[in-house]
Amino acid sequence: MTDEIRIRGLEAEEAAARLDELTEILADAVASGASVNFLAGFSRRDGRAFWQSQLPGFAGGSKQLIVAEDGSGLVGTVMLMFAHQPNAPHRGEIGKMLVHSRARRRGIGRRLLQAAEAAAQAAGRTLLMLDTETGSAGEHLYRNCGWIEFGQVPGHSFTTDGRIGRTTFFYKQLAELIPLRPSAPA
């Protein structure tokens, strides 16, 4: 493993070719207890199926995948998902913010998050949202990166070991919203 970390977008075709690496990062996160929508008993088959289900969104532009890699391969991911509703062309969501346990404590999560924020701005998005398990390392990261908590929901989702947990919701305004002009009546 080298110390040099490269952060970059991963197109759908390359993501498809690197499903094993993406699966390993997700499996490692779940095994480490990360609350990322999966429970104990999660298999590599489950991880591969998840990433395969994301490929159409990457190809179609409704999602972007940003990865961190070192000399050994992929070590982190973050997904940027664009709101598809007509009244939300300014909004996006962060998901699958993951850093493999072998690469943690090196600032990779912060760099992935900053890259996702920059990609959102480049796509004209001014507001991002995310949620994370209350008390998690993710919650600490988001607070330190200027994200604003707007609430907690007790009993929102189960932890990987099957306990019901609390979730904290965050947002970050990337720029001032420029109001859309209403369409003229037909």
Beta bridge partners of 74: 69
Spell out the domains of the chain, with CATH numbers in brackets.
6-173 (3.40.630.30)
Q: In terms of pTM, does the model score above 0.85?
A: yes
Q: How do residues 145-183 score in pLDDT, each as one tens digit?
A: 999 999 999 999 999 888 999 999 999 999 876 666 665
What integer pLDDT is reported at residue 147 of this predicted model? 98
What integer pLDDT is reported at residue 186 of this predicted model? 56
What integer pLDDT is reported at residue 119 of this predicted model? 98
What is the distance between the alpha carbons of residues 122 and 141, in angstroms, rounded to a whole number? Answer: 23
Among 73, 178, 181, which Cα is nearest to 126's? Answer: 178
What is the distance between the alpha carbons of residues 54 and 59, in angstroms, rounded to a whole number? Answer: 9
Q: How do residues 25-42 score in pLDDT, each as one tens digit?
A: 999 999 999 889 999 889
Give CA torsion, residues 117, 89, 36, 50, to 10 deg.
-110
Beta bridge partners of 91: 127
What integer pLDDT is reported at residue 182 of this predicted model? 61
Confidence at 185, pLDDT banded by 50, 70, 90 = low
